[in-house]
Structure 1
Amino acid sequence: MAKGENIFKRKDGRWEARYIKGYEVSGKIKYGFCYGRTYREAKEKVTKCKAALANGAPLVTSNSRHRFSFYCDEWLRLRKPRIKEATYIKYNTILERHIKPKLGVCFPLGFTTALIDEFTRELLFEGELAPKTVHDILVVLHGILKYMVGVFPGTFPAVEVNYPKVGKKEMRVLSREEQKRFMEYLMKDMDECKFGVLLALFTGMRIGELCALRWENISLTERAIRIAATLQRLKDTEAVGSTKTRIVVGTPKSDTSVRLIPMTDFAFELCERMNPKSTAAYVLTGTKEYMEPRTLQYRMEKYTHDCELEGIHCHTLRHTFATRAIEVGFEIKSLSEILGHATTAITLDRYVHSSMELKRDNMNKLTAAGL
């Protein structure tokens, strides 16, 4: 640092240049700050700011004194009216647990691709987070960085976010023999909860949608089930203490998740057998009291343990339904709408699992081609 320049290297590796921005009424000096990755960059910025002050031009660094955590909060505040409560809680958790503790003290104009890469490395190897979890964190960070470009037009550095490779996890699907065994178990001494699990297997509905399903949403005349709500246990952002949660019954995951699912003949017969006392009753309980997803998961653990089935949970039923549908030649657009997906690509990529039996049948078709 040259004498009188007021430019020095910080502990985080960046260079900081300070200049007199003005004076308060009391006569106290108001300083301005510029930051750079090198001494020369910081000096060039501070020189421009001094020249702008001398010419009466506006300073481009007027917002740069806020730390990154400030802009994280602003980004989330602006997003809140446009996203679902569950999404807001997810974003807030990512900010508070991962982004703000590691990047919150940084100054926005000092962000670099190398800084983001180091942040990613720490999440993966020091935090030992799964690549999918790190990917979700970086998606939120990327959204904030895009917001920052608008806050600092022309001055925010070009930063690249390099996402970790997320391996495709093969989802567990019930084989036909396992499915038959599981159905026979559920139909023996069938109660409301077992009936609901069967209904999920026959329709592919999500666990939250099943927990929120009431008998008023099942039409025996139309032989169809209307999915119009989902039930979740979410973090209570209004309560004191981070461990507080509450049950929220709201609209489904997306607009396409609000749908009408036709029933198979078997599902229709089961619905007729249940004979609910009230249309306002929840399907899983037969009363006006709901069953939350966590309780249903515990029930599923018992059911699958009794059937000697391993690696099975509620979402397995959804994947099994989609796979059986493809095996019998289900039209993909119809299947996508029944599952509540926005596109058929999601259905094919995530929810369709070709069995060895189906692969063998398709390979045998090549006989006609002389192979």
Structure 2
Amino acid sequence: MNIDENITTFDWMDQWLTTYVQPSLAEKTCQSYRAVLNILKRDCPELSQLPLQKMNGLYAQKVINQLADKYSKSTLNSLRTIFHESSVVASEVPAFHSQTIGKLRIPERASQKTVRALTRTEQQVVEEAAQHTYLGYIALFFLLTGLRAEELCNLDWPDFKRKERTIFIRKSKTPAGIRQVPLRKEAMRIILIQPKSSRDNAIFHSERYGTPITPSVLHKLYLRLRRETGVNFLTTHVYRHTFATRALEDGMNVKALSRILGHESVAFTMQRYCSPDTKFLQEQMDMLDNIHDPF
């Protein structure tokens, strides 16, 4: 890596992402960081001129405060990570004469980005559309397993254990994500109808090109399902959110669900993913009526 002691703040963060982050973190995380850098380039163009040695915690906090009215807390959290982690690496290069950026705060007024699950009715509509949509069985597989997009893309035949009815997730965004996922009967059926390729070990392929499934293919799939169903908030992550919500509504043990999802803690599962629909909540209230007033 060429060291330019006059490098600007933005150029350094861009170089940090390419050199230190991309080789070691999941593709989705890198894409998220790249999107945040694009926001900085657009909304804070002065960072493209600011010398790295003049960047400090006060300046970084002012940038976060400036963007709090426009972007969600999750975006600002990614920005906070970029500021801190890139400054730590830069501080280890003597030629930069830069300082580590310490603790930064996310303003309370920043919005909280939420992902909601499909209602049971919406899920039924999506599942019916998936039956006749190109690669629609992949959407069904997501709804049956709760996998992350990159986890499905990385599934190979050696990861599938037919006798045990499990798949092994060997590449994930966190250590807890490395796990065995038990399969329901329909998920088993979907895997078993996949043709094996002589060119690679991937389980899921594009039927048109015979190449392994990629995040781009999954993106196009949910856009097709949006058009067919009118469910305009559908994304690959919504499948996962829906799987978790239905599992709890149907009585799955939350600790088991947390393990299946690959979460570090049960608390995170409850806080992040479980948003029962209104109909289910009403059914739970009616259940109390039936217990206390059975007649």
TM superposition score category, shorter chain reference? 0.7 to 0.9
Give 3-state SS (helix, strand or coil) of 1:304's partner.
helix
Contact 1:134 1:164 in 2 (8 A): no
**Is 2:25 the partner of 1:84?**
yes
Answer with 1 or 2: which has the greater Rg: 1
**Is 2:275 the partner of 1:358?**
no
Q: 2:173 aligns with which of 250, 253, 256?
A: 253
Contact 1:80 1:88 in 2 (8 A): yes
Shift of 1:194: 1.9
Structure 2 CA distance for aligned equivalents of residues 312 and 366 of structure 1: 33
Contact 1:195 1:284 in 2 (8 A): no
Give 3-state SS (helix, strand or coil) of 1:319's partner.
helix
Q: 2:255 aligns with which of 326, 333, 337?
A: 333
Structure 2 CA distance for aligned equivalents of residues 181 and 88 of structure 1: 33
1:262-273 superposed matches below 5 A: 262-272=182-192
Structure 1 CA distance for aligned equivalents of residues 129 and 52 of structure 2: 58
Shift of 1:278: 4.4
Give 3-state SS (helix, strand or coil) of 2:167's partner.
strand
From the superposition, tell whether residues 364 and 214 of structure 1 become closer, same or farther in structure 2 (CA, over 3 Å): same
Shift of 1:123: 3.6
Contact 1:112 1:158 in 2 (8 A): yes
Q: 2:117 aligns with which of 173, 179, 190?
A: 173
1:287-326 superposed matches below 5 A: 289-326=211-248
From the superposition, tell whether residues 221 and 157 of structure 1 become closer, same or farther in structure 2 (CA, over 3 Å): closer
1:10-21 superposed matches below 5 A: none
When the two structures are aligned, how many residues end up with a matched partner?
A: 273
Contact 1:225 1:263 in 2 (8 A): yes
1:116-265 superposed matches below 5 A: 116-124=60-68, 128-143=70-85, 161-165=104-108, 166-188=110-132, 193-228=135-170, 251-265=171-185
Give 3-state SS (helix, strand or coil) of 1:310's partner.
coil
Q: Which amino acid aligns with 1:312?
A: L
- Structure 1: 5+ residue runs without aligned partners? 1-64, 229-250
Aligned alpha-carbon RMSD (Å) = 4.0
Structure 2 CA distance for aligned equivalents of residues 215 and 112 of structure 1: 48
Query: With CA pairs under 8 Å and 6+ residues apart, which has the higher RCO, 1 or 2?
Result: 2
Structure 2 CA distance for aligned equivalents of residues 226 and 212 of structure 1: 10
Structure 2 CA distance for aligned equivalents of residues 265 and 84 of structure 1: 33
Give 3-state SS (helix, strand or coil) of 2:81's partner.
helix
Structure 2 CA distance for aligned equivalents of residues 207 and 84 of structure 1: 15
Give 3-state SS (helix, strand or coil) of 1:261's partner.
strand
Q: Which amino acid aligns with 2:217?
A: T
More helix by percentage: 2
Shift of 1:357: 2.8
Contact 2:144 2:184 in 1 (8 A): yes
Give 3-state SS (helix, strand or coil) of 1:226's partner.
strand
Q: What is the match of residue 285 of structure 1?
A: 206
Q: What is the match of residue 267 of structure 2?
A: 345
TM-score by length of 1: 0.59
Structure 2 CA distance for aligned equivalents of residues 203 and 321 of structure 1: 7
- Structure 2: 5+ residue runs without aligned partners? none
Q: Which amino acid aligns with 2:221?
A: R
Shift of 1:326: 0.7
What is the CA deviation profile of residues 274-294 of structure 1, one whole-angstrom value per residue up to 9, with x for unaligned ones? 152448353243685113212
Structure 2 CA distance for aligned equivalents of residues 92 and 310 of structure 1: 25
From the superposition, tell whether residues 121 and 282 of structure 1 become closer, same or farther in structure 2 (CA, over 3 Å): same
Contact 1:300 1:314 in 2 (8 A): yes
Give 3-state SS (helix, strand or coil) of 1:139's partner.
helix
More strand by percentage: 1
Shift of 1:201: 0.8
Q: What is the match of residue 105 of structure 1?
A: 51
Shift of 1:141: 2.0
Structure 1 CA distance for aligned equivalents of residues 23 and 224 of structure 2: 39
**Is 2:195 the partner of 1:276?**
yes
Contact 2:157 2:202 in 1 (8 A): yes
